[in-house]
Chains A and B, each alone.
Chain A
Amino acid sequence: MAMRLPRLFRTTPCRLTLLFLALFAAAASAFLAYIYVATAGEARRRTDQEITREMSSLVAAYDRAGMDALNQSLIERAASERPFLYLLMGPDGKRISGSIAESPVEKFNGQPSWTSFSVTDLDVMGRPIKHPARGFQERLRDGEILFVGADIGEDQAYVVKIVRALWGAGALVIVLGLLGGVLVSRNVSRSMASLTDVVTAVRNGDLAARARVRGARDEFDELAEGLNEMLDRLERSMAGHRHAGDAIAHDLRSPLTRLRARLESAAINVEAGKADPQEALDQAVTDTDGVLKTFAAVLAIARLQAAGEAPNPVPMDPAALGADIAELYEPLCEDKEIDFKAELVPDLTIRGNQEFLAQALSNLLDNAVKYTPAGGAIMLRVRRRSSGEVEFSVTDTGPGVPEEDRARVVERFVRLENSRNEPGSGLGLSLVAAVAEAHGGRLELAEGPGKVGEIGPGLRVALVLPRAA
């Protein structure tokens, strides 16, 4: 911009105010002009009409009965308090009779013509005052000149009042419009400035900056709330990513260390001829697959925790999800001589990520199958709690988890002493917990059906999801 306008004038609200003011003023002008024409203009037209009618009635009298009749009419009319002004002149312009002294028409060229003039009257105090007047002059058949006029002082006073009112209204429109515009601009500018400040602060690296919500429940509050919520999420997500990075580094270090140690000792043993190279290589591939599985699990957990919510949630029937997983695991249980049952309450709805929920249920059943001895039982249950929450639970008759260890087994890589020799990454329950949290739910561990002889007491793991909104 070549000329720097004051800041206030560069703001959008101010520009809008000026634009609307201009439009409003244009509309007001048109409206006021119409009022002027309809009132002041109408009064004048009416006066002119009356003068014309009077003139033609006098000319008609003259044409019918001559000069005497006209004179007679004029005298009668002058006496009748009519508001008309008359002047009858000879062909030379000399006054013959009438109620005014001389014609206000300066140079009469013989053509009928209108003129505006003023008449002097006395007011109630006897002081002379001038009234505006209007008249019409016409030459009669035999050359005499007749002038008919009217005092339009009262009409004029009315018009002046109207004009004053119109000017006043116009001025009021502009003053109020400007004042309102300035107030609105200042208000809007101030609200915008506080939001701009937050954006600037965030851009400069201060993620903790938040916009002030004034409580007016207007769109600025909405915008401020939206901005704050966005920043909250961003901050959480960044913290999550930082945390995820740390966690992945930490979680992968142990399996990679183990893999490295095994490869090293295999290399030494193969060199010494104590181990078969093929076997060592096969073992290395198997170990690497284990690391990759761990990596996939760690990544899934980290992503869920960083996102703080389940990706692509869709409404779904939890019983159908349970039935699919039950169908996948049922033969495995039968193979291990475990009695498998599924109790799935139909017609419930949850919102979630199908893939992650299926994986969570699969992890729970993997664990149950792993720890339940032959002759035991596993139950998969989908039901609605009285609180409205939807529960997926897997109950087994394995050894269970002592109460004091229950919180700990959900943590990453925690494996209880008696499960050290079972295959698994130690991330199964952590992933289920992450899936539950990402869906706004939680993971609950409890004792199973109890101890019966050598069997039990079992474990009951429940993935509890909030009721669908």
Chain B
Amino acid sequence: MRILIVEDDLEAAEAMDRGLTEGGHDCKRAADGEEGLAAARAGEFDVMIVDRMMPKMDGVTLIETIRREGDQTPVLFLSALGEINDRVAGLKAGGDDYLVKPYAFAELIARVEALSRRRETGSVQTLLRVGELEMDLIGRTVHRQGKEIDLQPREFQLLEFMMRHAGQSVTRTMLLEKVWEYHFDPQTNVIDVHISRLRSKIDKGFDRPMLQTVRGAGYRLDA
């Protein structure tokens, strides 16, 4: 995956670059907004990671500019501004996701991968399939190996998110934000309990578990 990192904090940019390159991605760095704009115009990227506050041109202006020019590359905003209004402003400007600093690296990777996947599924899907698991988005039913699995509405949403990001790590924070739409971290492991319930429904009685726990990151649904 080709990733553009627009970040004026050189140390942070370097750490991201190193980590993403190790993960098999191809990274290019820009140290301010103007440089970022030039790089975004010049090259094709699968995902852009853009800091909000930068010298010369801030991240929001940068993204507004490339969106006006028709560039639809998925954008992950990084920001020290974490209030709801700041998030909304970032997403309004054309950002696809918003990560507040300081972040865990696993969180960053998971979100970048989730964004790259989003781009591939352009058309509206009515059926999701991951390995033996089948989800009918219209009939709201789930089958594994042809057997129907009965899910609560929230479990359905949770599984839908995991299926859309099959093969990728998703973090607890991502699940809380995207499935429950809460932007705070509960002090207890509420998400873990929901996942283990879901796991008991989709994996119990089958020979191979699909819903994996990824140490230090979160969960992953494997085909």
Contacts and interface: CB of A to CB of B under 8 A. Distances in A.
A366 B185 CA distance: 11
B155 to A, nearest CB: 10
Interface stretch (B2-10, B26-34, B187-195): B187-195
A425 B187 CA distance: 9
Interface string A348-379: 00000001001100110010011000000000
Contact of B154 (A289, A327, A355): A327
Of B102, B183, B188, B189, the most chain A CB neighbours within 10 A belong to B188
B182 A358 contact: yes
Contact of B190 (A329, A423, A425): A329
Question: Size class of B's contact patch?
Answer: 20 to 34
Interface string A285-310: 00001001100100000010000000
A331 B193 contact: yes
Interface string B193-223: 1101100000000000000000000000000
Interface residues of A, number: 27
Q: Is the interface of B mostly helix, strand, loop or mixed?
A: loop
11 contacts: A296-B185, A311-B85, A328-B190, A331-B194, A331-B197, A332-B188, A335-B193, A355-B84, A359-B182, A363-B187, A366-B186
A449 interface: no
Interface of A: 289, 292-293, 296, 303, 311-312, 324, 327-329, 331-332, 334-335, 355, 358-359, 362-363, 366, 369-370, 423-425, 428
A293 B85 contact: no
A362 B84 CA distance: 17
Contacts of B190: 328-329, 331-332
B82 to A, nearest CB: 8
A379 B26 CA distance: 52
A358 B184 contact: yes
B187 A423 contact: yes
A423 B185 CA distance: 14
Contacts of B196: 335
Closest 3 CB pairs of A and B: A331-B193, A359-B184, A366-B187
Interface in B37-76: none
Contact of A362 (B83, B102, B154, B186): B186
A407 B82 CA distance: 31
Given A331-B190, A370-B188, 19 more contacts: A303-B83, A311-B83, A324-B180, A327-B154, A328-B182, A329-B190, A331-B193, A331-B197, A335-B193, A355-B84, A355-B182, A358-B184, A362-B182, A362-B184, A363-B187, A366-B187, A423-B187, A424-B187, A425-B187
Contacts of A332: 188-190, 193
Contacts of B83: 303, 311
Contacts of B187: 293, 363, 366, 370, 423-425, 428
A27 B66 CA distance: 61
A281 to B, nearest CB: 12
Interface string B73-89: 00000000011110000
B183 A355 contact: yes
Contacts of A366: 186-188
Nearest to B185: A293
A282 B116 CA distance: 29
A213 B31 CA distance: 55
B183 A328 contact: no
Nearest to B155: A331
Contacts of A358: 182, 184
Of B104, B186, B187, B194, the most chain A CB neighbours within 10 A belong to B187
Contact of A312 (B85, B102, B186): B85
Nearest to B188: A366
Given A329-B190, A331-B193, A331-B194, A292 B102 contact: yes
Nearest to A366: B187
A303 B193 CA distance: 32
A339 B161 CA distance: 29
Contacts of A303: 83
B188 A369 contact: yes
B85 to A, nearest CB: 7
Contacts of B180: 324, 328
